[in-house]
Amino acid sequence: MNQIFNFLSNFNLKLIILLAILFFYFWYAFSIIYHLIRFGIGTQPKIISLIFFLGSFLMFVLVINSYFRVDLQNIFNPIGGYSP
């Protein structure tokens, strides 16, 4: 019972929101790729879906990389001492 209370006291809402956003983003990308491959005739829709998937993955990596490189203290400092 003590372990449950420890888990609830260390509950990280930001992580849960981030995981939910990632889940819906990848589900959306997967559904687009699936429909392009499934209902396309010939090889052109499959090539387009591969390009979309690679671009989606590249954008995801760039966003994560830029998030970790940004110093949030410099962004929120001019707002009157607000710190996240």
The residue type found at 38 is R
What share of the chain has pLDDT > 90, as a percent?
0
Choose between 49 and 6: higher pLDDT.
49
- Per-residue pLDDT, averaged over 37-51, amounts to 77
Q: Read off the pLDDT band of 37 (50, 70, 90).
A: confident
Number of Cβ within a 10 Å radius of residue 49: 19
Q: How far apart are the C-alpha atoms of 20 and 65, rounded to whole Å?
A: 19
Whether the per-residue pLDDT at 81 is higher than 60: the answer is no
How many alpha carbons fall within 13 Å on the CB side of residue 76? Answer: 8
